[in-house]
Chains A and B, each alone.
Chain A
Amino acid sequence: MPALANHSRNDTLAYLPTADDRVFVERLRAGDRPAIAIVFDRHGAAIERVLERVLGCDTEVPDLLHDVFVQAMLGVSRYRGDSASLRPWLLQIAVRTARKCIRRRTTRRMLGLRTPGELPDAPDAVDPEQQTAVRRAHAALDRLPADERIAFCLRFVEGMQLGEIADACDTSLATVKRRLLRARVRFEQLAAKDSLLGRWIEEVAR
């Protein structure tokens, strides 16, 4: 059982393909904290992807991913959902975590402090020009207010539907639409000032 090598109790549950997440909620509530590993196996990749979509390919993402699941593990007693999947709830935690991270960085930037983690090592697999353009895009996104940035990234980078974004941000559809509209306006203004980014937007749309 390699996937559950560190998991000592009721491991068979992890292999029940039909067992929905409520089983693990009950186990976590009953004090079986290692059951979080099974939840992680089920949803970790999706949550990591969402964090990356919002924050970029960032060295801080693994820490934030860890934080999301620790919050879930410790806060499961407050979970009130009745869905068979914990993913919507985990997405909400991930969005809150990303928002905190963005705001913390904004504050640090305002204070003139460096924000480690924002500028990851260049991935070998990415074309240098594209990498520069992606950096410019993230630099533009960095200048959006946290909520607008999150809505923008979830919609256009992660490709989520508006209703899904509203659920993830724990807000109304109307609010999401307003945030998106404002984010688009701001992003376009920023892109208009950056010829490389503007050119790249034209290129990728072809």
Chain B
Amino acid sequence: MIDDDRLLALGRAIAAAHDGGHHGDPTGGRARVRARLLDRAGRETTRSHTLPWVVGLGLSVAAALTLWIAWPRALTFAIGPEASPGVAGAWLAASDAEAHSLRFSDGSVIDLHAGSRARVVQLHEDGAQVVLETGAAHLAIVPRGASRWRIDAGPYLVDVTGTRFDVAWDPQAEVFALTLHEGSVTVRGPGIDGERSVGMGEAMRVGPPIPAPLIAAAVTEAPEIAVVAEPAEPHREIRTPSKGRVPSRPRAPTPSAPDWRLLAEGASYREALAAAEAQGFDGLCDTLPAKDLLRLADVARFARRPERAAAALDAVRKRFPDSDGAAMAAFERGRMAFGRGAHGDAARWFAVYLRERPDGAIAREATGRLMESQHEAGRTGDARESAGRYLARWPDGPDGDLARRLGAATGPG
């Protein structure tokens, strides 16, 4: 391969030819561009000042009307017997004496038990996201084709289609409880490996054995209770595959602390990571399911905090050994190592992925990257072997040319 020095010399020669191509008038062309630019700026300014507002306004109104008629509208909701209009984002607190009803425009109803606090965070055309900060609620969600309802009860996330259930969260006792009367839901959160489906007539409880008062009310009212997750001792209910220390717990998001997942969905990665750190990054690493930990690692990577990304990925590998998530974490570690130029480390991680998932969904990508990392690390023999394996399995793969080239560069094999 042509070495860097020769390519840089070639580049300098090309650049010299470019610089010599200005005919001794290095700024003449730029001066004309500047004049055109000022002319354009002047017209833009004038246009922006003299734009026929009436036409613009008329077009805007017509477009808005069309959208209003045709666009699927987000749900709305009303509060209490007075049906006062609810506002997304505002906290709703039921008094100690009486419940609070939220009636949604699709017919779904959430009854907030006395003493509970909640917030409707987002309203979509096909559902809503509700945060139950403390207390209990009864939900009757009207089933529709593509419902998107999610209830965040402390660190637990309940994904709902059409269903009727009770949910409760006691932040002091750190107890989560859910009783399902109709339909099905899935729950994610601390102590739950991945996600857990809860079916009709089942109940789920995660927390100390003695129900806290807030939870007791919700659970004892439920007609059918089958305890799915009942820990033996306080604080042992957060079960993880890792052994040793009792994991630290994430703090429940406070009204002022936005959920890191929501921020990540909005691509606000630095803010998402800050929110995760405010919630307790180590606690999240100890308790989040593998899927969320991989997401958290992505968030940290995009926020340019590789040490946090590495911690989240290592947590996946430690807590979920032999899982798809652990293999994916190895691949991500490899990508990160490659990115910082640690090609030896990168090769090791890609090899780990391939050892754990030789026929995994990204085995081709991992083999290509392994080959490239080995080449960059100067391990030409290993790179040639990897190139051979790559070509044997994916002769027309995207790294095929590179594999052929690396194979040729390192001699016959």
Residue ranges of A at the interface with B (Cβ–Cβ < 8 Å): 6-7, 31-34, 36-37, 40-41, 44-45, 48-49, 52-53, 56-57, 61-62, 65-66, 69-70, 73-74, 120, 123-126, 130-131, 133-134, 137-138, 153, 155-159, 172-174, 177-178, 181-182, 184-188, 191, 200-202, 204-205
Chain B residues whose C-beta falls within 8 Å of the C-beta of A7 in the assembled complex: 38
**Across the interface, do B11 and A157 meet the contact criterion of CB distance under 8 Å?**
yes
Q: Could you write out 11 A-B pairs with CB less than 8 Å apart?
A: A33-B42, A34-B41, A40-B34, A125-B20, A126-B21, A134-B13, A156-B11, A157-B12, A159-B8, A177-B338, A204-B10
Contact flag A123-B23 (CB < 8 Å), given A157-B11, A201-B2: yes
Q: Is the CB of A33 within 8 A of B44?
A: yes
Q: A36-B38, A123-B22, A186-B401 given; name 17 further pairs at CB < 8 Å.
A: A34-B41, A40-B34, A40-B37, A44-B30, A45-B30, A56-B18, A61-B29, A62-B29, A69-B37, A123-B21, A134-B14, A156-B7, A159-B12, A184-B1, A188-B1, A188-B2, A205-B5
CB closest residue in chain A, given B398: A182
Q: Are B37 and A66 in contact (CB under 8 A)?
A: yes
Asked whether A125 lies within 8 Å of B21 as measured between CB atoms, the reply is yes
Chain B residue at smallest Cβ distance from A6? B38
Contact A44 B335 (CB under 8 A): no
**Interface contact A52-B18, CB-CB below 8 Å:** yes
List chain A residues, Cβ under 8 A from B24: 125
Contacts of A6 in B (CB 8 A): 35, 38, 42
A153 to B319, CA, bound (A): 45
Q: Tell whether B393 is near chain A: CB-to-CB under 8 Å.
A: no
Whether B339 and A173, one on each chain, are in contact in the complex, defined by CB atoms closer than 8 angstroms, is yes
Which residues from B are CB-within-8-Å of A40? 33-34, 37
Tell whether, in the assembled complex, residue B401 and residue A182 are in contact, meaning their CB atoms are under 8 Å apart.
yes
Q: What residues of chain A lie closer than 8 Å to B18, measured between beta carbons?
A: 49, 52-53, 56-57, 157
CA distance A130 to B32 in the complex (A): 29
Provide the B325-355 mask, 1 if CB < 8 A to any CB of A, else 0: 0000000000100111100000000000000
Which residue of B14, B34, B402, B405 is within 8 Å of A37 (Cβ)? B34
> Please, which residues of chain A bring their CB within 8 A of the CB of B340?
173
**B402 and A36 within 8 A (CB):** no
Chain A contacts of B10 at CB under 8 A?
137, 156, 200-201, 204-205
- Given contacts A53-B18, A74-B44, A125-B23, whether A185 and B1 have CB atoms under 8 Å apart is yes
In the complex the two chains form, is B2's CB within 8 Å of A34's CB? no
Q: Which residues of A contact B35 (CB under 8 A)?
A: 6
Q: Name the residue of chain A whose CB is nearest to the CB of B334.
A: A174
Ranked nearest first, the 5 interchain pairs of A and B with the lowest CB-CB distance are: A156-B11, A123-B21, A57-B21, A33-B41, A174-B339
Q: What residue of chain B has the Cβ atom nearest to residue A3's Cβ?
A: B34
